[in-house]
Structure 1
């Protein structure tokens, strides 16, 4: 940990890239100016399963402006090597234009490349594709599941059979789509055997390795640039087929190619949070202490890859339960491959787990918070490890006080305002603290400014800003003299920008690099006979406002500018890094989410009236950004609870509501007062910054808190998401 004064970290700083964004000067993936760029439009399959029997592209090729039409009939065979250290999944990834097989509705079967977007769009409609179609399998309930992933401790079946109180519950969660504001887009340009991609991605390093593997070239022959990402929520965690299509089209035409997915294509051209069926059996004593839990989970995946996420984890460690058995089965369907979405696994599991705890509380006559308190574990029972920090009980206490929980009448359907039934609910949030190896480059210039670089991303949480704050404090500079750059695979490598790991990983690397540069300057000063700091102990020197000074005598010192200029140095620079330690600790962020709803007694309409989240997320680097993350996470959870679901036509696998008119997401009119409280503190076991991550935790627990409030308002349990008016009529 740096011994520097902490002036920037912990302050509510506005985004350093905010002006660029609001003035339209931030260049997103499709907006980079590239000379001579062609435009590509994908032709999507119109069947959900089968094979292509013919492609007639004569009319498309004859259309003015069309340069090429590429399909499996004329595309070169691509190597598609294995890509280690990427986010590829078990199975065989979709190999575009390599065979005639159709695996899901909307799969790319051809691409039209033209001099203008309009020409490419029109010509794509002229491509006549014929199929030998088969009925696709899209029903999670009728297709055999694969071999289960499992976990067990104790004897859950015996404990359940002898439990005083038993619950046997089934929950169903609909598919959710990320729907970021910026559509996925790629510009691809070849220079000989070297490929440059301007891409919407959450991991420039992963996309670099994926495309190198596809084309059989060295990793360093691919450069990926992604300085700005207009939202992603997990959808940018792997290189989807359109990235390969763009690169292939650019290589075949010898010109740079731009490919932008339409809003409709995002629903099958990129991943999604999969549908789940979740059966949960709970055993407890009459005073509410858990004795057994049995989890049986079915989740959709594609027929060609197996996607799984950490859905089992909360049921293993959130509450003290001596006997647990879990089985997680994926069901291969004729759909494109799912992917992680905000709060992956944990957000899904929190709905059945937290609703079941609420049901148990009513079954045994306990307040829902008191029931949770009675089942607070002393350590992580899935591993036996102690918790690094776990302030969940404090989250309950603070949340109950601030929300006014004790004022509620606990009886369901007991509070009414005219036609509106009023209810309150609570749920616990948890998300594990992820960390990964990262590096960063830091440089202090002779003019007193600094440059810091790392190949991270910023899809919205404010990476530019938070890293600037960390770097400024470590270097002893003002934030206005530090420039942080990211989004280039030529910069020092980082883990994916997801799983709430960026601050703990990249932030620690940034601090290490800046600490090292500062120490270089201090060493130079104390060894320089011309320096006012000559002969001082290095540990007694700090840097404040760009001046190296003695901690106990700030009048004795000099600036970076004076030191470097006198020593004829244009700059001091180094590369720093961070590697997670192997400390045996269970590390997670926690939270308590409170919701109040009003339900129209006659129409079944649900209106959220207020929501509060109290979080144990470690040290908060940037409070203004943290508040923004909380609001965004809560809004996403509200969508999952009340609005978002995908409708698939079983006849052909077509997504019926692949647009923002029919796939509903929350808008301003849906969102009431949202409030977040972060407990003051830090968790030094997680790394030098003491952070736990907060982008995911603020999504987890929102849906069950709303569902529990709906029950309290109406007396009716709804175990399907989203909660619709039909379920309450």
Structure 2
């Protein structure tokens, strides 16, 4: 049996753990930061897309004459005249560049239409206004073909999904259905969640520039390395001849983790016209050409004895994919790990529709899966007449309930205890509808949050200069979460130098390949490389010191030394890096760490057999409900997180709050409406797709009981996505307490409570 040696209590280091301002904050606040659509080139042209209006069919004619006649129009590209891109081919666990594609469609290389909104033409003009106007003049005639676009109608045709090396969709332990039938107390509930779309503050935008056969692309990307590999394949250009620049990303949340048609068509238009081309999607264009979250239907059934001990846990789900790509979400993921039950059944099924591929959206699977699971646990508490916190605490597992792996940390009990005290849970009247604030109904709800932790390959170089400055280089992405700041803090501590002496270079494919900013993996993944590279730098510095006559470091091993005060020190003395490098006649030392995909896959498979590691949290929500209109307002929020070691307390708290805000949107307002007749999104704008605004969100109080994970670099497990998980359930459980009504269909709108 493998055991984990628990980390000793962490001594507060100079920078890791502090609340540090973002190093790019000034540039963003003063407008110096330039995003993808703010880079200007001589002769820059602008592109706009023409979208299909049918879900499936063939183009029988395109009349672009009126568009071409508009003054300032440079070109109209269609399947009749566009240069062909190379077929993508298949990806795999070692080469994920093909899997990074949003769809498998060869845009403008076929007369086939695969979804309502597919780009069928690109207009290039001297100004963006001209391009968009002319795009509206392109007339397309279609031969419509039968399509399947209604998720609810297709539920009977759902197909069971199979487990893969990358994703586990099914698990079975014992006989859960029989145990459910025999349980003294049980609940058996159905939940639905709607499709959702991305609404990052920066819409997708591409500026593409060809210089002969060399390509430069400015793109807000969550995975620069995969994007470059993808472009190299599609345009037949060697990777070194492509440069992707993405120093600033105005929000991603998964929507910028794949390659969508706007990016490829901007590059194609630039090659076809010989001009630099910029393509900025309208908000509607994002809905039409960038995937979102799958809808789902879920069943959660729980059986328990009279004391609340679970005897059966069943969680099944149906999600959708597309004929042109996309992967189903791991909706039952949290149910695999959160609660001890002797009998567990997890099953995931899929439906294939003629719609744009679904894609990653903050905590894919876990966000909507925890809504169903944690709502069902709450309903079981009602049926038992038991406090919902006590029910959860009575069923916390000692080991992974399905696989038996060791849990790297078990802190949910502390989180519930701390959160209940801070939130004032004892003041909660357990009766439904019994609490009032004047005429308003008051409800309190609680739910558990869960998101798995892992790392991806990350290549890093660290250069230490003789003047004591440090440069960290990694092609990672900064989406506003303070990624570069965190790595500067880590490097400063590892080398014992002031934070202001560390510069982090990122957002450029010419840098060593970084991991994608997704799955809450980037901080830990890059930290592993930074720590390893800093160790190599210190080792080389010590080797130089040993050759310097009179150095106080001669005769010492690296393990005896501490990096502090700009050098290496031991109990009897030390020497600065500047003195060592100057004496050795060196202006710098540099170390590189190169991490490959094969090693990552093998390490992941090994770790999966040994451990279950995750970020967790407990959300406490208080709502006010108008008894006449049934309007729901979130009045108070408190969350207690365990996200391992926190690198930057300020940016971490911001990430946690951001996840909660997005979860409140999931719970109360967000939904994409798809016309079941033709697959067209009917609310593709922020005027009709309702995200939370300032007035919808109370002060969000966040706390941390984080324990460093001994199996992760620096003990970090990631915080980007755990914050949204469990949020919708906490809101639904508070509404249940206030009104006595269980709403299992998101979002929780007035009509479902009246």
TM-score (norm 1): 0.96
Residue in structure 2 matching 1:129, options 121, 125, 140: 140
> Is the contact made by 2:320 and 2:328 (CA closer than 8 Å) also made in structure 1?
no
Distance in structure 2 (CA, Å) of the matches to 1:443 and 1:593:
42
Report the equivalent of 1:70: 77
The SS at the match of 1:319 is coil
Report the equivalent of 1:654: 680
Report the equivalent of 1:560: 577
Superposed displacement of residue 4, structure 1: 11
The SS at the match of 1:684 is coil
Report the equivalent of 2:511: 491
> Is the contact made by 1:523 and 1:538 (CA closer than 8 Å) also made in structure 2?
no
**Residue 148 in 1 paired to residue 167 in 2?**
no
**Residue 551 in 1 paired to residue 562 in 2?**
no
The 1:90–1:186 alpha-carbon spacing in structure 2 relative to 1, beyond 3 Å, is closer
**Residue 108 in 1 paired to residue 119 in 2?**
yes
> Is the contact made by 1:4 and 1:543 (CA closer than 8 Å) also made in structure 2?
no
Report the equivalent of 2:431: 411
Superposed displacement of residue 134, structure 1: 4.3
> Is the contact made by 2:520 and 2:718 (CA closer than 8 Å) also made in structure 1?
yes
Distance in structure 2 (CA, Å) of the matches to 1:277 and 1:537:
60
The SS at the match of 1:51 is strand
Distance in structure 1 (CA, Å) of the matches to 2:584 and 2:647:
35
Residue in structure 2 matching 1:287, options 296, 304, 307: 307
Please give the per-residue CA displacement for 1:457-514, whole angstroms capped at 9, x wherever unaligned: 1112110110110011112111111100111122112221111111111111112112
Superposed displacement of residue 534, structure 1: 3.8
Please give the per-residue CA displacement for 1:670-703, whole angstroms capped at 9, x wherever unaligned: 111211111142111123x111111111111111
Report the equivalent of 1:521: 541
Report the equivalent of 1:53: 60
Distance in structure 2 (CA, Å) of the matches to 1:353 and 1:577:
40
The SS at the match of 1:282 is strand
Distance in structure 2 (CA, Å) of the matches to 1:483 and 1:184:
28
The SS at the match of 1:438 is coil
Superposed displacement of residue 5, structure 1: 8.5
The SS at the match of 1:698 is helix
Report the equivalent of 1:457: 477
> Is the contact made by 2:548 and 2:580 (CA closer than 8 Å) also made in structure 1?
no
Report the equivalent of 1:643: 669
**Residue 185 in 1 paired to residue 216 in 2?**
no
The 1:532–1:378 alpha-carbon spacing in structure 2 relative to 1, beyond 3 Å, is closer
The 1:92–1:599 alpha-carbon spacing in structure 2 relative to 1, beyond 3 Å, is closer
> Is the contact made by 2:294 and 2:329 (CA closer than 8 Å) also made in structure 1?
no
Report the equivalent of 2:165: none
The SS at the match of 1:591 is strand
Report the equivalent of 2:131: 120
The SS at the match of 1:328 is strand
> Is the contact made by 2:100 and 2:226 (CA closer than 8 Å) also made in structure 1?
no
Residue in structure 1 matching 2:718, options 678, 682, 693: 693
> Is the contact made by 2:207 and 2:278 (CA closer than 8 Å) also made in structure 1?
yes
The SS at the match of 1:492 is coil
Superposed displacement of residue 711, structure 1: 0.4
Report the equivalent of 2:705: 679
Distance in structure 1 (CA, Å) of the matches to 2:399 and 2:527:
28
Distance in structure 1 (CA, Å) of the matches to 2:628 and 2:308:
34
> Is the contact made by 1:526 and 1:537 (CA closer than 8 Å) also made in structure 2?
no
Report the equivalent of 2:166: none
Distance in structure 2 (CA, Å) of the matches to 1:92 and 1:692:
30
Distance in structure 2 (CA, Å) of the matches to 1:4 and 1:612:
27
The SS at the match of 1:42 is strand
Report the equivalent of 1:624: 650
The SS at the match of 1:720 is coil
> Is the contact made by 1:432 and 1:589 (CA closer than 8 Å) also made in structure 2?
yes
Superposed displacement of residue 116, structure 1: 1.8
Distance in structure 1 (CA, Å) of the matches to 2:247 and 2:20:
20
Superposed displacement of residue 536, structure 1: 4.0
Q: How well do the aligned residues superpose, as a CA RMSD in angstroms?
A: 2.0
Please give the per-residue CA displacement for 1:147-179, whole angstroms capped at 9, x wherever unaligned: 434322211222122222232211111112220
The SS at the match of 1:294 is strand
Distance in structure 1 (CA, Å) of the matches to 2:681 and 2:613:
39
Unaligned runs of 5+ in 1: none
Distance in structure 2 (CA, Å) of the matches to 1:294 and 1:557:
61
Report the equivalent of 1:726: 751
Query: Larger deviation: 213-222 or 472-481?
Result: 213-222
Distance in structure 1 (CA, Å) of the matches to 2:191 and 2:183:
22
The SS at the match of 2:368 is helix
Unaligned runs of 5+ in 2: 1-6, 163-169
Residue in structure 2 matching 1:201, options 217, 221, 227: 221
Superposed displacement of residue 211, structure 1: 1.4
